[in-house]
Amino acid sequence: MPRESIVAYVAEDGVRCSRDEVLITNGAKHATELAVMVFTEPGDRVIVTAPTYMTTLQCFRNHGVSLLAIPQDDEGLDAGILRARLETMVVNGEPLPKLLFDVPDFHNPTGLTMSLTRRRSLLGLAAEFGFVIIEDDPYRRLRFEGDAIPPIKLLDNHGLVIAVGTVSKILAPGLRVGWAIADREIVRRMALRKADGGSSPFNQHIVASLMRSNKMREHIAELAAQMKLHRDVMVESIAKEVPDATVRAPNGGYFLWAELPSEVSGDELATKAVEHGVEVRPGRVCFPKVDPGHHLRFAHSYVGPDEIREGIRRLGIAYRALRGG
């Protein structure tokens, strides 16, 4: 895939880079894994949100790193809590984290979007405490409403950010075409670790052709409109069938995060839901360490409005059965 196509594609979001600052990978997870291989050794710390993207959790565990879990608020990863933890490490003489991983736009699994202030705060912490930020941003263009916030990479003036992207989430998972954008030296080091050869050249040229045409933009616009409908139907259905759940409607992406009453187990509800013919993910799978125990993760990307309504109706039956109603 001509790297020039990636350069032009990310320039639409304001990110300026040269072809030498682009590494083509076999999807976003591959790019993240290469960064972990370059910057960490087993036992090193990596900062993640709690909760975070469950597939990446397994990637980190496979490489033997220790996870520093930081909670989120409405603006994203809580930079104040992170600063306090880092300062404590300095006082205690503990090794500082090498990396921070986050999904700043339409976060998987919570759907949150990190504020501009918080993005700048994280960059300041990265400069002060010496870690590199992996910005995984596959859902950025699936915005339903509101103004876009600049990517963290756009705000980075010191080479502290590896911007990870992919088309697998917006075109087809089977394409497995992703990239990492970083300073030339970081790209060089990551490329040395890419022993498997990376993404299929055939797939790369398909994606490059789409990026050069208007078909990509048209597809994303149609997909965003469809996903907005799915989100609206799912939020409405949860409010009707599981009224005790707290759900924040995201401004884009594929995911909803439901907080159940503290006495209701997400695992038990997910198990009960299977008995009624519907599958949901308990929040436990998204927490790096301690699971509060009362969350569910929803994805609305693979089912239509009628299936969403029926699935949530069955979930409501399971919920009432679990609570003895």
Same domain (yes/no): 194, 53: yes
Could you give the percent of the chain with pLDDT greater than 90? 82
Q: What is the pLDDT of residue 198?
A: 63
Q: What is the pLDDT of residue 75?
A: 97
Same domain (yes/no): 154, 263: no
Q: What is the mean pLDDT of residues 127-147?
A: 96
48-70 residue pLDDT tens: 999 999 999 999 999 999 999 99
End-to-end CA distance of the chain: 56
Range of the domain at 312: 217-322
Of 241 and 325, the one with more pLDDT: 241
Judge whether residue 1 has pLDDT over 60.
no
Same domain (yes/no): 133, 204: yes
**Dihedral (CA of 296, 300, 303, 309) sign:** positive
Judge whether residue 325 has pLDDT over 70.
no
Same domain (yes/no): 52, 162: yes
Q: What is the pLDDT of residue 199?
A: 66
DSSP letter at 182? -
Last residue of a domain, one of 166, 182, 213: 213
d(CA 269, CA 297): 12
Which CATH number fits the domain that encloses residue 134? 3.40.640.10
Radius of gyration of the chain (CA): 20
Q: What is the pLDDT of residue 169?
A: 81
CB-based contacts of 87: which residues, under 8 Å, 6+ apart?
none
Give one DSSP letter per residue of 90-101, joined into a string: HHHTPPPPSEEE
Tell me whether strands 99-102 and 66-73 are parallel, antiparallel or unpaired. Answer: unpaired
Tell me whether strands 132-136 and 99-102 are parallel, antiparallel or unpaired. Answer: parallel
Burial bucket for residue 319 (CB in 10 Å: 0-12, 13-18, 19+): buried
Q: What is the pLDDT of residue 196?
A: 60
* pTM of the predicted protein model: 0.94
Same domain (yes/no): 33, 172: yes
Same domain (yes/no): 44, 182: yes
Q: Which of 29-33, 75-79, 232-236, 288-292 has the lowest mean pLDDT?
A: 288-292
153-209 residue pLDDT tens: 999 999 999 999 998 888 766 677 899 999 999 999 999 998 765 667 768 777 878
Cβ distance 194 to 167 under 8 Å?
Answer: no
Average per-residue pLDDT in the chain?
Answer: 93
211-267 residue pLDDT tens: 888 788 899 999 999 999 999 999 999 999 999 999 999 999 999 999 999 999 999
Same domain (yes/no): 39, 11: yes
Same domain (yes/no): 260, 126: no
DSSP letter at 252? B
Q: What is the pLDDT of residue 177?
A: 85
197-218 residue pLDDT tens: 566 776 877 787 878 887 888 9
Cβ distance 235 to 304 under 8 Å?
Answer: no
